[in-house]
Amino acid sequence: MKVHDTNLSRRTPPGNTTIPKLIIQKPSAWPALNPNFAVRGNNGSELLLPCAVSLLDPDSHDALFSYSNFPASVPRTWSERVYYYENQDDLNYGEIHSSFARLLKAGYEESQLAEDMLAILSGTKPDTEYKPGELAFLTGTVALMFGMEASRFPSALLINLLLLDLIQHGKRYGRTGTKGFSFTTAFHRVTGSGEALHWDNGKPSTRLTDTVEHYWYGGKYPYAVHGTGSGNMSMREQMAQGTEGERYRLNFLTLPQRHAVPRREVALVIHWVESNLSDEQLGDLTYRSLYDLLFARLGVGYLESTDKVFDLRENPRKGTGTHRPEVKDEDINDEVFWYSLGKYYHVNPSCKLLPGYDKSKNDILFASEYALPGWALETLEIPHTSNSLTQYIAIKSLSTEDLRSRYINHFGNSTWNNLRQDWYHGKKTLKPNEKENLTKEVQKRVDGLSSDRIDTHVANLQRAIDKLKSAGSLLIQRGVPVKGPFETAELAEKTACLSCVPQKHKELVGAYRKKLEKEVT
């Protein structure tokens, strides 16, 4: 199809040019085309970007798959985008949440929306009477979920179906079984007062100086996550490979924030399986039977030759697995804790809004297991009293050549100090000839360093640095942990955590704030 860049603003190749148009007439096309709508590893030569997509009407343009900016000389991961052709918008998940909220307010039912999206996936126009913009939104969202997200995470081909099933059949989950699967919570979570849930971390604002911004927590849809840092796809693949060693330990024990995607995927799988099987069937569930069940759902979703039906007659169990401990009102004392760059103050050290914590310790110690060892601090000339945040800032931009230079410089300084002690018994003031002799000997020993020795020390430094980086810059950017009464937390401009601070405690906070307002007036 012909496109004009003046209308699409850097989303297509500049000038008057032609891009492919894909007409999706069967659901089996989505797994056949994936993962070529997103940058993954070395698939650059197979990418289908940019291209237009039509799902229901061959003459329509339901979505444009392209880059955030075009031309992209070296496309980077996550630079690809889906533009809804109705208004050419690249909608973020907060905006998608708002669009579904408007549809529900207009009178459409959750179950009908989910059923119609599954119909669109199969290439069938829904019977529901939608306004043109409403149907275009649903069609564009199907393209986003089954095209773009499934290219980034192939598991989305299954997870998308499970989420739509749970919404269509009105399933509920949670400790009391009252939380409903909904489009209003799938893509973005807000409280009853409309306040968005945030990860409790911070990053320097790119808009306002001397301020900190916080990322949205996201929704039940596993790919509607924000601020988890780079490496989501690669770290998820490492989990699937079951790699042994330190990386394996970091993946499965500490579960950093970057694992928000697979953790939410697993939760949806559990809820969906429990909705399909009775307690007796669940008791007999094996890995193979679980595989067959999920594989059958894929067949129903993408093949036309199956008549199997998943009607989700059961319900998710109310108490699935181990939950984070609830904090009771009587457990609240005068002390709460917060992080210097965080948004909230907490009473629960394993609150879900904290971007990651060490389950084996289950405390609020701040990324201590990732800190650089003493010998690395000495080599890099970083104070031993520094915390992980200070260390991260000091090492995040160091290149291999920087590490070589730091090691050689450290070797020279330590050699000087050792020789000074051996030759002159550490006396404070050296004569000019003594200083000259020391300088010559140190330079001789530095010049005599073998490349193998330097490379070995640089490799050891790099491993220690990589371990610190693996904590994730956003985990580290929570800042320094602080404890104190909630009045101090309020003065530090922290607010009561929306997840782990009991409601009764929030009422006390409200009374405290009113008291402050009276004192001011």
Domain ranges of the chain: 88-201+214-226+235-254, 263-331, 359-477
In angstroms, the CA 480 to CA 417 distance is 34
**Residue 124 is encoded by which pair of tokens?**
């069938």
Q: Which residues contact 185 (CB under 8 A, 6 or more apart)?
A: 179, 219, 220
Q: What is the pLDDT of residue 366?
A: 43
Q: Dihedral through CA 213, CA 95, CA 217, CA 372, nearest 10?
A: -50
Beta strands in 181-267 (DSSP E): 203-204, 212-213
DSSP reduced 3-state for 76: coil
Element (H, E) at 51: strand 51-54
Nearest to 149 by CA among 216, 220, 219, 223: 223
The residues with which 481 forms a beta bridge, in sequence order, are: 339
Name the packing angle between helices 432-447 and 400-424 (round to 10°).
Answer: 140
Beta strands in 392-498 (DSSP E): 481-484, 495-496
In angstroms, the CA 147 to CA 157 distance is 9
Q: What is the pLDDT of residue 475?
A: 53
For strands 344-346 and 495-496, give the pairing: parallel
40 contacts 151 by C-beta, under 8 angstroms: yes
The residues with which 196 forms a beta bridge, in sequence order, are: 190
CA distances for 284 relative to 162, 245, 272, 290, 313, angstroms: 21, 32, 16, 10, 18
The residues with which 22 forms a beta bridge, in sequence order, are: 53
In angstroms, the CA 159 to CA 301 distance is 11
Beta strands in 329-469 (DSSP E): 336-339, 344-346
Q: How many C-alpha atoms does 255 have within 13 Å on its Cβ side?
A: 15
CA distances for 189 relative to 148, 175, 186, 195, angstroms: 22, 18, 8, 9
454 contacts 408 by C-beta, under 8 angstroms: yes
**Residue 288 is encoded by which pair of tokens?**
């193979």
For residues 346-363, one letter each, b for 16 or more C-beta atoms within 10 angstroms of the residue's C-beta and e for the rest, the string is bbbbebbbbbbbbeeeee
Q: What is the pLDDT of residue 65?
A: 85
CA 202 to chain centre: 14
**Residue 409 is encoded by which pair of tokens?**
């410089």
Nearest to 56 by CA among 125, 1, 113: 125
In the block, residue with structure tokens 């992080």: 339
Backbone angles phi, psi at 51, to 5 degrees: -155, 155
> What is the 3-state composition of the chain as percent helix, strand, coil, each rounded to the nearest 5?
45, 10, 45
CA 146 to chain centre: 19
**Residue 457 is encoded by which pair of tokens?**
């020390």
Nearest to 277 by CA among 262, 265, 292, 260: 292
Q: How many C-alpha atoms does 367 have within 13 Å on its Cβ side?
A: 32
pLDDT in tens, the chain (521 residues): 455 444 555 566 555 567 888 999 899 999 988 778 887 766 667 788 888 889 988 888 888 888 766 544 444 444 678 888 766 667 788 889 999 999 999 999 999 999 999 999 998 999 999 987 899 999 999 999 999 999 888 899 999 999 999 999 999 988 788 889 999 899 988 876 677 888 887 776 777 777 777 888 889 999 998 766 555 666 666 666 655 555 555 555 555 566 778 888 999 999 999 999 998 999 899 999 999 999 999 999 998 766 678 999 999 987 655 555 555 555 556 678 888 888 898 887 777 787 654 434 333 334 555 678 888 889 998 887 776 667 877 888 889 999 999 999 999 999 998 888 888 887 778 888 888 999 999 999 999 999 999 999 999 999 888 877 766 554 556 777 788 888 888 888 888 887 888 766 767 666 766 766 665 54
Q: What is the pLDDT of residue 77?
A: 43
273 contacts 290 by C-beta, under 8 angstroms: yes
The size of the chain, in residues, is 521
